[in-house]
């Protein structure tokens, strides 16, 4: 006689729980993966405290230090990022990243338990698509990001240098020159005609822009210190203003030979 009301209440409770339940995080696709061991424990400090890398400068430095005998893997940081995990000792790292419905990626770092010097590392390449945060931290980052594009119609060259500089100046002081804030360089830079060469970059990642200052970047390809090509925002001549006063933090640079 009293069973029906109780059953009805239970059904309502179950229905309520079903409505508010959130989908469990799903395993995120791994695009590529690199792992190994480093004997010098002091080099572990190059691992980002955030657990991920979103800029090519940090990536180049970490790879050249942790695996100096291996060519630095190419990563398009405009579309991808790298998760980083380390454990003490000459151990194998275990990581299983997952993403939830809000675009937050989480992962735990574990490893085998061998004793010894150094540390083990794992680097996991994932797509930025659908990812907003990693462990609750935004992946947007700071500084100026972009891509340098050399069209296929540009003649081939080898052993040049790509140099990108970020400058700061006070718009109210006409007699004071701009201050160099940061630079991004690629040595042994090369291009093959008939093919597009694209190079992602980040410059000024540690900069806190000042509202009363203006910023711009310069992009040049050099050979023995001489400028051979110039990079222009969207292929249009003029100063490439960035960051403040309504200017963008992400730019597309198209390079052409210096006239």
Of 57, 46, 56, nearest to 79 by C-alpha is: 56
Of 202, 229, 184, nearest to 75 by C-alpha is: 202
Residue 224 has pLDDT above 80, yes or no: yes
Residue 99 has pLDDT above 70, yes or no: yes
Label residue 55 exposed, middle or buried (CB < 10 Å: 0-12, 13-18, 19+).
buried
CB of 167 closer than 8 Å to CB of 180: yes
Residue 6 has pLDDT above 60, yes or no: no
Q: What is the distance between the alpha carbons of residues 94 and 23, in angstroms, rounded to a whole number? A: 24
Give all domains of the chain, ordered by start, each with its CATH number.
Answer: 26-138 (no CATH), 144-257 (2.60.40)
Q: What is the pLDDT of residue 10?
A: 37
Q: What is the distance between the alpha carbons of residues 63 and 174, in angstroms, rounded to a whole number? A: 42
pTM above 0.85, yes or no: no
pLDDT in tens, 125-172: 999 999 989 998 888 767 898 899 999 999 999 999 999 999 999 999
Q: What is the distance between the alpha carbons of residues 32 and 180, in angstroms, rounded to a whole number? A: 36
Kindly list the distances between the CA atom of residue 108 and the CA atoms of 80, 87, 90, 97, 132, in Å, as whole numbers in the listed order.
20, 11, 19, 7, 18
């Amino acid at each position: 006689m009293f069973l029906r009301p109780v059953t009805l209440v239970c059904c309502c409770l179950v229905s309520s729980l079903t409505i508010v339940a959130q989908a469990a995080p799903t395993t995120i696709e791994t695009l590529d993966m690199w792992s190994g061991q480093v004997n010098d424990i002091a080099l572990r400090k190059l691992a980002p405290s955030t657990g991920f890398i979103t800029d090519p400068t940090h990536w180049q430095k970490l790879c050249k230090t942790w695996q100096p005998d291996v060519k630095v893997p190419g990563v398009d940081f405009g579309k991808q990022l790298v998760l980083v995990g380390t454990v003490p000792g000459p151990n194998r790292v275990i990581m299983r990243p997952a993403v939830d419905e809000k675009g937050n990626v989480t992962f735990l770092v574990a490893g085998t338990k061998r004793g010894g010097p150094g540390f083990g590392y794992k680097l996991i390449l994932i797509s930025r698509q659908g990812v907003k945060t990693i462990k609750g931290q935004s992946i947007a980052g700071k500084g100026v990001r972009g891509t340098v594009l050399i069209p296929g119609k540009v003649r081939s060259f080898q052993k040049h240098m790509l140099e990108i500089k970020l400058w700061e100046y006070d718009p109210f002081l006409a007699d004071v020159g701009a201050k160099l804030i940061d630079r991004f360089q690629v040595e042994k830079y090369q291009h093959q005609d008939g093919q597009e060469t694209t190079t992602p970059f980040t410059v000024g990642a540690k900069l806190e822009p000042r509202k009363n200052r203006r910023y711009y970047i310069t992009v040049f390809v050099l050979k023995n210190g001489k400028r051979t090509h110039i990079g222009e925002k969207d292929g249009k001549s003029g100063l490439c203003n960035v960051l403040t006063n309504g200017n963008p933090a992400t730019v597309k640079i198209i390079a052409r030979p210096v006239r």
